[in-house]
Amino acid sequence: MIRRPLIVGNWKMNGSRSSSIELVGDVANNFSTGGHVECVVCPPDVFLADVAAVLVGSDVGLGAQNVSQYEKGAYTGDVSASMLVEFTCAYVLVGHSERRACFGETSSQVAEKFVAAQGKGLTPILCVGETLAERKAERAFEVIAEQLDAVVEVAGLNALSSAVVAYEPVWAIGTGEVASPAQAQEMLAFIRGRLGEKADATRLLYGGSVSAENAAQLFEQQDIDGALVGGASLQAEQFMAICQIAET
């Protein structure tokens, strides 16, 4: 089974309108991989239109960082899946640990967002990850299983196998402390094992302090099909280098 590598840049709440246009321009102009690796950027929602305009005719895809679980109505501040589709998003992150920790998103809300996204044709990138305390208490596998099962219960196993799952240990996000290739592989093999018979086709990403320096070792692992990149995706050169590593 050959899975197409996927590199996703999560810009988080960074940059300005002009810096986002400049960054995506640098990414789009320098991305030429012969079509093997897939590259996606997730800017802040307010810059989606500007970024989408730059991406017209390029091979770089567009995603969003969050989506409402609701279709429409009196949900001040929320953005729906169909709105994201209108701005040519193909992907959306759901359940990023910052959404869970800073905004109190529960696993059942994450599951609703997952379903809402898929219902409008977006591919959800379901983020799961344990905290350092949970890993130290040897609860990492239990926590990941809970986070996955909450979505499987609502969406079904088939729905999950057509999405993307990103394993992002919370202790590795933005810390410079990347999981070892063996740690990442161990968890992603565990995740694949829970995704049922179609799991061989499902793309699984690792995220957490991925850089051009550590990407090669991660991508050598059997169950790592790409990366969700935060900090390093804010520098076009770093991000392109990671895409290039995934290509080779």
* Residues marked as catalytic: 96, 168
Q: How far is residue 215's CA from residue 198's CA, in Å, rounded to a whole number?
A: 26
CA dist 10 and 231 (Å) reads 8
Binding residue (CB under 6 A) for ligand PGA from 43, 95, 169, 208: 208
The H-assigned helical ranges of the chain are 17-30, 48-55, 81-86, 97-103, 107-119, 132-136, 140-155, 157-161, 181-193, 215-219, 236-247
Answer for which of 6, 117, 228, 243 binds ligand PGA (CB under 6 A) is: 228
The C-alpha atoms of residue 42 and residue 74 are separated, in whole angstroms, by 25
Q: Which one, 124 or 208, has the nearer CB to ligand PGA?
A: 208
Count of chain residues binding ligand PGA (CB under 6 A) = 13
CB of 233 to ligand PGA, least distance (A): 7
Dist CA 118 CA 122 (whole Å):
5
CB of 72 to ligand PGA, least distance (A): 28
> Binding to ligand PGA (CB under 6 A): which residues in 162-181?
168, 173-174
> For residue 223, which of 179, 173, 167 has the smallest C-alpha distance?
167
Among 20, 69, 118, 209, binds ligand PGA (CB under 6 A): 209
Structural tokens at position 46: 């307010």
Q: Name the one range near ligand PGA by CB under 6 A: 112-120, 132-140, 227-235, 238-246.
A: 227-235
Among 65, 99, 230, 236, binds ligand PGA (CB under 6 A): 230
**Binding string to ligand PGA for residues 6 to 35, with x set by CB under 6 A, is what?**
----x-------------------------
Spatial neighbors of 68 by CB under 8 A, at least 6 apart, are: 75, 78, 79, 80, 81, 113, 116
Q: Segment near ligand PGA (CB under 6 A), from 113-121, 130-138, 142-150, 223-231?
A: 223-231
Is residue 238 within the footprint of ligand PGA (CB under 6 A)? no
